[in-house]
Amino acid sequence: NRPALVEITFAKPRRHDIVPKHLTLSISYPSLSRGADIVEEILKRSYKNAKRERSILVIVNPFGGKGKAKKMFMSKCKPILLASNCSIDTAYTKHAMHAVDIAREIDLDKYDTIACASGDGIPYEVINGLYQRPDRAEAFTKLAITQLPCGSGNAMSVSCHWTSNPSYAALCLVKSVEARIDLMCCSQPSYYQNFPRLSFLSQTYGVIAESDINTEFIRWMGPARFELGVAFNVLQRKKYPCDIYVKYAAKSKNDLKVHYMEHKNRASLRFENDVDDILNDNLSGDCFQDPSWSQVKESDFKLKYPLEDGVPSDWERISPDITDNLGIFYTGKMPYIAADTKFFPAALPADGTMDLVVTDARTPVTRMAPILLALDKGSHVLQPEVIHSKISAYKLVPKITNSLFSVDGEKFPLEPLQVEIMPHLCKTLLRNGCYVDTEF
């Protein structure tokens, strides 16, 4: 029972961040079996359900976060990762879509994690770069894709790590649970025959799309530019006529609530009763995951609804009275689309659906104002003027010639867009095995 001297490195809060600190302790451990390794025991308890000593490729967008992304990564994230004994290689993007090339050429034997020190654009590029690989099934099986929030839009980190603070996100990366989340596959006539495009966050058309893309020139304003654009378009009561066909999973708000509670409660039960199974990918944060999900197969990339097959007979057309007067069309897979915008409070990581939100441009400004002001709380979806459903696929056919789609914050062409869920395709890191609690 002689005491042992053990040096512990731990994360300590300092001002708004956390930093690594060192402490030497004298520890007596009579409760351990003879010959047990005290250091190993401490590490085992500290990293319960998390993978230790990750091999990480960090992709830094030096233009992100108003040009501060590199400095943020070096000062706030890297010390935490190094203190936890992660091995790190760093790559810097030099132009738009450079991360697609990096992911397409990455050596799968060298890494188990890709961390995007950026906004949401680099995770989008990485996922699509992996998708274009000939060995994509192996790539999606092996690599976890996560975000260190160093950009202006950090929805992935807020949703998955529960924070937009880079140092806290780095700690979450080190201590989080590996889980599989659904992706969404986008097809449009101009590119789908080469490669459809994968989306992890959202697709939007109408007021939100134009507010996002058409305010890029005032990006220096930060999040206010987006809010300004939305307010401007809503006050104009701009309409975006289209036809929309959907495959519903939960059409009414009551059905959606039941779907949400069923999947969330199943997860909570699994987490409490069998938390040690998380490492085996048995839990996603919204439902019990079949162990076979941990292995991605080439057949998992096969589209259920190819674009050339037309609209299936079991899809429903949303009433033209609404779609001819469309204001907002927004579909998403993560609860937050920005640090303070909880647009999809019922989103779940792997429930096989995406959330759909639609508004009518004819809604009076006196009713739209409280809806937009409720975005930070996520209570906008409860308003009677807001259509809110769970869907597994949709097709949107624009009836105008001058607009655009925004997919994960990227500008997409104005042509028919068809999207479907690709279940449990992407491995990521979730704090406590689930998305941030939205109090939905």
Active site members: 120
Q: Residues with Cβ < 8 Å from 134, sequence gap 6 or more?
A: none
For CA atoms 178, 356, 301, 313, give the dihedral sign. Answer: positive
Question: Cα separation of 331 and 203, whole Å?
Answer: 5
DSSP E strands in 172-232: the ranges are 177-187, 197-199, 202-206
Coil, strand or helix at 372: helix
Question: Cα separation of 235 and 383, whole Å?
Answer: 19
Question: Cα separation of 19 and 77, whole Å?
Answer: 9
φ/ψ region of 207 (left if φ > 0, alpha if ψ in -120 to 50, else beta) reads alpha
Query: Do β-strands 87-92 and 55-60 pair in parallel, antiparallel, or remain unpaired?
Result: parallel
Other CB atoms within a 10 A radius of the CB of residue 24 amount to: 8
Coil, strand or helix at 31: coil
Place of tokens 């406590």: 432
Coil, strand or helix at 182: strand
Question: Cα separation of 429 and 71, whole Å?
Answer: 23
For CA atoms 261, 262, 267, 268, give the dihedral sign. Answer: positive
CA geometry: angle 103, 391, 151, nearest 5 deg = 40
By the 10 Å C-beta count (0-12 exposed, 13-18 middle, 19+ buried), 13 is classed as: exposed
Taking Cα atoms as reference points, which of 358, 427, 437, 424 lies closest to residue 391?
358
